[in-house]
């Protein structure tokens, strides 16, 4: 009933005309097997015994009744059932664990999201025989896992996987604008998702092809799926009788198709609005009949329904530039709840939100803009922004100018934008992590773009990871020390699912000249999947207008297992809550980072070497800061030969980081060796105050 991008990408001129996914024929005997699925239920709370239900849709394509036998096999477990089908009949045939005791498994290998464990998959083989002759067979995979959800004390929807809580942290997916499919690119994007530490991808109505879901199953990435907003799917007042039929049949097809994938974590029956009662009841009946095994949410919004009550999620934005402190200052119990746009803080489950535009590095700007329109910002830039309220990046540009100073050219603007992206994305994910499980989920709007864009992504259309990517990756490291913008407290967040003992957390504050103004350390343990306040930072006198907070977390051997680096301003950054709207809360007064311009230029000592590992090349870069000043916001690239193009995609262990005086670090970049061609890898180093080399 429509494919649309609404305001995040242009609609292609042909809209969704014609066929745009694979069409194929499959042959069988009189009876075909469709949508084989294995559903799981555990004995709580130990989850040491799994009760499997195997179901499949059988379709009799002949014009006469058929008797036959449906056989199933999971590894060494076999089960069989006699089936009768009337002429032309389609029927769900199910093996229940109560009737087939061999489907009650002790201590099975479970499917876990990547963050929680191993996404173990099992094979299901099914055959249908008629008079001893094979009519059809199928081979599929499945995961032994159970997803449940409940509403917490503040009506946030909290998800559990196999009985364990999980904080949903993800990004919104956009298909290619022309709906092209590229297997290599898809794998590259999933590698980026895993590398950042995200555990979820949200689909907005475009219910990707099978390879997408198979990859999610194997990679352990959860998928939120549901119908799209802002088109005929939600124009219920205009629906005619055939629209109800199309919606019902479409839902049935998708529920049947998706129910077997362990990666699916939920289905949303609406997006920006929940369906009216008659449509919601129709949808729920389809989902029940097709045995959808996961939670169903009425919409991506907090709007309750008369059928299912509270949704447990919210879609409150913001979508425009927002100060990093917003996410912790907008507390549900505070005075700002709930002005429009002042409800996106770190509580509940936010199905789409963002700290605003995501201007990519200058190389991507050069790729999408003509040379004569690269600077200053004009309508050519805005063409690559969004629709509706997001046709320009003026709010973002004003904030960048106020916080970091006037940009002189596209390269300067692009680099400062990576600073804004890093601190903004990091602050959002850190706030939701710090406040779990009052906060239960957050989806960055968006993960990627359908075309070259200057808004809403964690990596750009050219697969170039910028500041936002590494801000997200830093925020989601498994053991992570966090600074709270609202009360200057230091926290430790564990996203691991095992306890860690004997940790040491150190916090140090430096002036811009690197004079140490404060130091404190604490010994502590980190319980599995925990968040704990460690101590408060004091109010300090004689701080320079810009100062730095360095957090280091070490294990018993002295190895750094978590770290963080904040640049902070003595000028308060305040928000104008009363002027909040549905997409933003304006900044009343900005932090001032313009003193960063006084940092002296530094030449780093850089050594690199490259080795081959199977199909990949790994470049090791060792950097040393020999000066007595901070080397701020260092960006590394690996190029195809000196002066060549940047190798993309690339997995950097870390990037856009800073080095203290005398500090030495080694970081690695991993990329496909084939991307080099005949060139030799060349490492390029730049930074805020680091001489290019």
> Which residues belong to the active site?
272, 352
Q: CB–CB of 639/682 below 8 Å?
A: yes
Check if the beta carbon of residue 415 is closer than 8 Å to that of residue 688: yes
d(CA 649, CA 671): 7
> Which spans in 298-447 are helix H?
326-329, 362-368, 379-383, 394-404, 410-434
Q: Which residues contact 516 (CB under 8 A, 6 or more apart)?
A: 508, 509, 510
**Are the beta carbons of 231 and 4 closer than 8 angstroms?**
yes
H or E segment and range at residue 42: strand 31-42
User: 123: which strand partners?
Assistant: 141
- The alpha carbon of 631 is separated from its chain's Cα centroid by a whole number of angstroms, namely 30
Q: What residue spans of 119-173 are helical by DSSP H?
A: none
DSSP label at 441? Answer: E
First-to-last alpha carbon distance for the chain, in angstroms, is 54
What gap in Å lies between CA 302 and CA 316, rounded to an integer? Answer: 9
Residue 419 three-state SS: helix
Best CA proximity match to 353, nearest among 186, 582, 141: 582
Establish whether the linkage from the previous residue to 689 is cis, with ω within 30° of 0: no
Could you tell me if 244 and 223 are in contact, meaning their C-beta atoms sit under 8 angstroms apart? no
Question: Angle at the Cα of 565 (from 432 to 639), degrees rounded to 5?
Answer: 100
Burial class (CB in 10 A: 0-12, 13-18, 19+), 677: exposed
Q: What's the rounded Cα separation, in Å, for the pair 320 and 301?
A: 18
Classify burial at 370, counting beta carbons within 10 Å of its beta carbon; exposed 0-12, middle 13-18, buried 19 or more: exposed
Helix, strand, coil fractions of the chain, as percent rounded to 5 = 20, 35, 45
């Amino acid at each position: 009933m429509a494919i649309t991008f609404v305001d995040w990408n242009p609609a292609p001129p042909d809209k969704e005309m014609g066929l745009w996914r694979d069409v194929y024929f499959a042959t069988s005997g009189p009876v075909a097997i469709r949508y084989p699925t294995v559903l799981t239920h555990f004995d709580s709370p130990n989850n040491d015994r799994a009760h499997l239900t195997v179901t499949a849709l059988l379709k009799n394509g002949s014009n006469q009744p058929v008797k036959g036998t449906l056989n199933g096999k999971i590894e060494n477990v076999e089960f069989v059932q006699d089936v009768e089908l009337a002429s032309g009949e389609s029927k769900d045939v199910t093996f229940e664990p109560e009737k087939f005791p061999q489907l009650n498994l002790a201590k099975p290998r479970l499917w876990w999201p990547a963050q929680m464990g191993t996404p173990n998959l099992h094979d299901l083989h099914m055959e249908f025989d008629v008079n001893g002759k094979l009519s059809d067979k199928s081979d599929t995979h499945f995961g032994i896992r159970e997803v449940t959800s409940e509403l917490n004390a503040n009506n946030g929807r909290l998800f559990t996987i196999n009985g364990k809580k999980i904080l949903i942290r993800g990004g919104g997916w956009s298909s290619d604008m022309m709906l092209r499919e590229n297997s290599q690119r898809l794998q590259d994007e999933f590698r980026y998702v895993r590398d950042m530490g995200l555990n979820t991808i949200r689909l907005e109505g475009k219910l990707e092809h099978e390879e997408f879901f198979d990859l999610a199953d194997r990679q352990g990435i959860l998928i939120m799926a549901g119908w799209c907003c802002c088109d005929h799917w939600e124009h219920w007042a205009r629906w005619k009788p055939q629209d109800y039929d199309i919606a019902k049949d479409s839902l049935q097809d998708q529920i049947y198709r998706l129910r077997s994938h362990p990666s699916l974590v939920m289905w949303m029956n609406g997006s920006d609005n929940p369906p009216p009662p008659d449509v919601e009841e129709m949808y729920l009946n389809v989902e029940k009949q097709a045995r959808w095994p996961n939670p169903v949410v009425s919409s991506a919004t907090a709007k309750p329904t008369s059928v299912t009550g509270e949704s447990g999620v919210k879609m409150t934005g913001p979508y425009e530039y927002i100060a990093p402190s917003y996410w912790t200052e907008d507390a549900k119990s505070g005075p700002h709840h709930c002005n429009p746009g002042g409800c996106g803080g770190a509580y509940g489950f936010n199905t789409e939100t963002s700290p605003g535009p995501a201007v990519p590095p200058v190389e991507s700007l050069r790729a999408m803009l003509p040379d004569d329109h690269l600077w200053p910002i004009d309508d050519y830039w805005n063409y690559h922004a969004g629709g509706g309220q997001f046709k320009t990046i003026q709010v973002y540009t004003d904030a960048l100018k106020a916080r970091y100073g006037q940009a002189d050219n596209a390269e300067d603007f692009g680099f400062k934008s990576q600073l804004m992206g890093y601190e903004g994305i990091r602050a959002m994910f850190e706030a939701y992590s710090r406040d779990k499980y009052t906060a239960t989920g957050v989806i960055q709007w968006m993960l990627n773009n359908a075309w070259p864009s200057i808004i809403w992504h964690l990596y750009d259309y050219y697969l170039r990871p910028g500041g936002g990517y590494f801000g997200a990756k830093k925020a989601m490291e498994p053991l992570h020390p966090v600074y709270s913008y609202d009360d200057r407290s230091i926290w430790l967040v564990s996203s691991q699912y095992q306890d860690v003992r004997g940790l040491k957390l150190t916090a140090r504050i430096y002036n811009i000249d690197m004079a140490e103004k404060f130091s404190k350390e604490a010994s502590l343990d980190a319980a599995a999947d925990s968040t704990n306040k460690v101590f408060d930072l004091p109010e300090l006198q004689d701080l320079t207008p810009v100062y730095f907070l360095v957090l280091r977390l070490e294990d018993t051997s002295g190895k750094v297992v978590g770290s963080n680096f904040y640049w902070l301003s003595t000028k308060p950054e305040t928000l104008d809550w009363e002027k909040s709207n549905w997409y933003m809360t304006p900044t009343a007064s900005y932090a001032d980072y313009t003193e960063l311009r006084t940092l002296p230029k530094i030449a780093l000592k850089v050594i690199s070497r490259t080795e081959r590992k199977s199909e990949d090349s790994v470049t090791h870069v060792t950097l040393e800061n020999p000066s007595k000043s901070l080397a701020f916001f260092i960006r590394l690239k690996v190029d195809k030969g000196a002066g060549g193009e940047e190798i993309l995609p690339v997995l950097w262990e870390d990037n856009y980081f800073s080095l203290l005086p005398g500090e030495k670090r080694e970081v690695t970049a991993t990329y496909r060796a084939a991307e080099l061609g005949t060139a030799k890898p060349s490492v390029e180093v730049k930074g805020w105050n680091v001489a290019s080399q």
